Amino acid sequence: MTSIFAELTQLPRPTSEISSAGESWAVNQAPTAKGEKKPTDNSLWAMFRPAVSLGDGRHTPQNVSLTSFLLGIGLGVGFLWTWSALCAVVIPEETKPGFSQALLRLGPFLLFLSQFHYLEYLITSLYNPKALGFDTFTFTMDANYIYLKMMSIILIEFLVEAYFVPEIKMGRWNWLAGLTLMITGQAIRTLAMATTQRNFNHYVATEKDPDHVLVTHGIYR
């Protein structure tokens, strides 16, 4: 028993500890041979360096949490922006349209874009978790940055039109019609994913999966 206790007392200390003089931190310092000095990283980054990488495209809880957090910000900002746009709809039509008023119409785009990406992951996790991956958010960047290019073109087109011809963005009824179509489209897609459940994923199949069945109920009736 005494020999076991002696061996335990000679085990290396935890990897992160402060020196007796309180001068510096030893971060992830491995035990070294007697008399050998191992350099320590005393930088501020070393003290707070995370154990995993963020934003590397891997399907990790950290990346999912960060992405959901950013989409939540987009949802909140988009909702407030959309509410301001709805209030602006009641402006009399004789009011001269301007760039700032036309810019309010961008709010629903941010709102429904954030909602779409979030619901893609959420609904898949609820009804088909085996097909879940980080690309389930559906905006994973590919080698050609197609998604980023597409969104950039959409934004540039909107800003150019809002600046030079803001009146085309100020139509009351066509704006409300577009808002209704976005709500209806998102509701139909979410209902379809919930109905197909394990028979739906985000990949194009070239061969029939043995577990795949034809859905003929619900919205597909």
Q: What is the mean pLDDT of the chain?
A: 79
Full-model pTM: 0.74
Question: 156-174: per-residue pLDDT in tens?
Answer: 999 999 999 988 888 788 8
C-alpha 98, offset from chain centre: 33
pLDDT band at 4 (very low <50, low <70, confident <90, very high): very low
Choose from 95-99, 127-131, 201-205 the range with maximum mean pLDDT.
Answer: 127-131
- CA–CA separation, 162 and 121 (whole Å): 33
Q: What are phi and psi of 26, to 5 degrees?
A: -105, 105
Using 50, 70 and 90 to split pLDDT, how confident is the model at 101?
A: confident
Which percentage of the chain shows pLDDT scores above 90?
Answer: 44
CB proximity list for 195: less than 8 A, separation 6 or greater: 215, 217, 218, 219, 220
